[in-house]
Structure 1
């Protein structure tokens, strides 16, 4: 047997999504200098979706897979004078949907996104349940924070706070008509800080938005071991281009993996 018994790409994609949530959300030509039109959406500085609205996205992978997601603020709570936005992102895939909850707030000139452990754990378990019996599960590196400078001008930083996200799962892979296979998979994701490289107007089916284009990356090291087979290890670097607008959040994103795979996400509708 080989690691192909485990749908590695699908599993890794879910882990990436859970770890970055709204962070890693094309048709934009980077080298074109665009004049911002008069009807560009005018908004505040915090890079947080507006309460009371739904943001619908289209996600297209390089293999032709098309998925959708919806982001919305579920509630806003006051904590010592600071408004904490509880946001949910629901991704709809061919065989169901996954919801990831996170917090967002603006303080001291920066927007912070915070992802906690429970929503990630639930999403991973749901993905694995049909294909394996989980014997042991360990996930660390949470809460995970991504911090944007609200200025959003060229060279404004985007930074990450928290230890690398590390996961280890011992399982029995279910084999129809045969003996189950003992296996272990581990993965570590390390984020690299980045910055704004350009300000530009981006037009999507949802409208035209005055955006900051951020660039950063993350590195994933994945190990897979199954009974009777040599261990396999893969290291992948993913470069992220992310276009954001204040009080909107994600307008567009492009993820480019070192293996050549890409994933693009674009805002389709605000309602």
Structure 2
């Protein structure tokens, strides 16, 4: 189903209002005591803010789009089996460790796919009060500023962002990729890393991600003409974890070659 320009704009403006409210709630919560729990290990945290934001956003989505399905991180979504119809992805706090320890480099992310096609994505940089949003029918914006496609730089011409744990153990050729790049960084969160790539501050980013980690970033990256796939060059599975690679077209080719060598 193809939405009209009016429908796209209505959805976009509605979600921007939700995100403005979520930002206010998150900033207030940051000044208060955080209820922090461990999910799988000491590096995998969840807070009351993650849960509260997800419940708030999921309720908004269900009220606005009652027939939709929701894939979200903290257990308040649906057990989705396919990508038919309207499927929303919600990451209520992306980069929870950064949120807890640094209060920087974290994001709130939402995406809408219809019949497995990317429609709209939103990445809220909470601290800097910037929402990166858009999709293939409208382009990509940082608040009201329209973004252009980043320069098609090679891996050797720019900074690459990588998963720290997998870089440390030389997995997926990350050690070779880091050495081939002009420089490398570890941010520790998907949303802020995607933003560096789509804004041209990095030539690529790769990490293991769940669907809510990459859904919004994929919408924005594809709209800007960037390449995104798994680390073997295949399309991403929208309902399972992937080793995601997003990069300029030249850096994407460079990284795939290094991974496969």
Decide which structure has the larger Cα Rg and report it. 1
Higher relative contact order (CA 8 A, sep 6+): 1
Q: Which is richer in strand?
A: 1
**Fold equivalence (TM over 0.5):** no
Q: Which is richer in helix?
A: 2
